[in-house]
Amino acid sequence: MTIESNMVVTLNYKLSNHTTGEKIEETTPENPMVFLYGVGGIIPEFEQNIQGKKVGDTFAFSIESSNAYGVSSPEQIVKIPVSVFVDESGKFNEEHIFVGALVPMSDNEGNHLRGTVLSITAEEVEMDFNHPLAGIDLKFEGSVADVRPATQEEIDHGHVHGPHGHQH
């Protein structure tokens, strides 16, 4: 069975920064990547690179940042008044807000975002809302652990069911 639309694919892979070689993340045998091929939600170029592969096949390819998580935009770096992070008693939330922290936030429309704290002054917290992988060329190396046809229910739902998928 080969990887194509409406197949459930299980992969093990290592993701690294193509430029520096630094490892970004790696799946484990207990926690592989399991997904329904061809329904979106995966970087399109990632899917193109594994199309037609079968169990046991390996892969190694890189994807430029512009085709992955996009380029880093200066407009996504914003300064937020320190008062936003102060509780009723006037205490700054230093437990969660520190340089390098990844902080869940929401914008004016209630969208959930995550920002990385770049710097903190007496007045402002500077945060970067670019995707953590924006501007990074990605390198994927791995192997195909399983390929099976999706059930009709999985196709209807647009996601995988079972141990590594939605349990409902």
* Residues making contact with Zn ion (CB under 5 A): 157, 166
Q: Which of 16, 12, 56 is nearest to 35 (CA)?
A: 12
Quick one: 131 or 157, whose CB is closer to Zn ion? 157
Q: How far is the CB of 7 from Zn ion (least distance, A)?
A: 16
What residues contact residue 15 under an 8 Å CB cut-off, 6+ apart? 23, 24, 25, 26, 138, 139, 140
**Position closest to Zn ion via CB:** 157
DSSP state of 99: T
Q: How far is the CB of 137 from Zn ion (least distance, A)?
A: 34
Shortest reach from residue 115's CB to Zn ion, in Å: 31
What is the spatial distance between Cα 137 and Cα 1, in angstroms, rounded to a whole number? 30
Least separation in angstroms between CB 155 and Zn ion: 10
Please, what is the minimum distance in Å from the beta carbon of residue 126 to Zn ion?
40
Q: What type of residue is 14? A: K
DSSP one-letter string for 4-56: -TTEEEEEEEEEEETTT--EEEE-BTTB-EEEETTSSSS-HHHHHHHTT-BTT
Closer CB to Zn ion, 157 or 164, in the complex:
157
Determine the 3-state secondary structure of 65 from DSSP.
helix
In the complex with Zn ion, the residue whose CB is nearer, 131 or 161, is 161
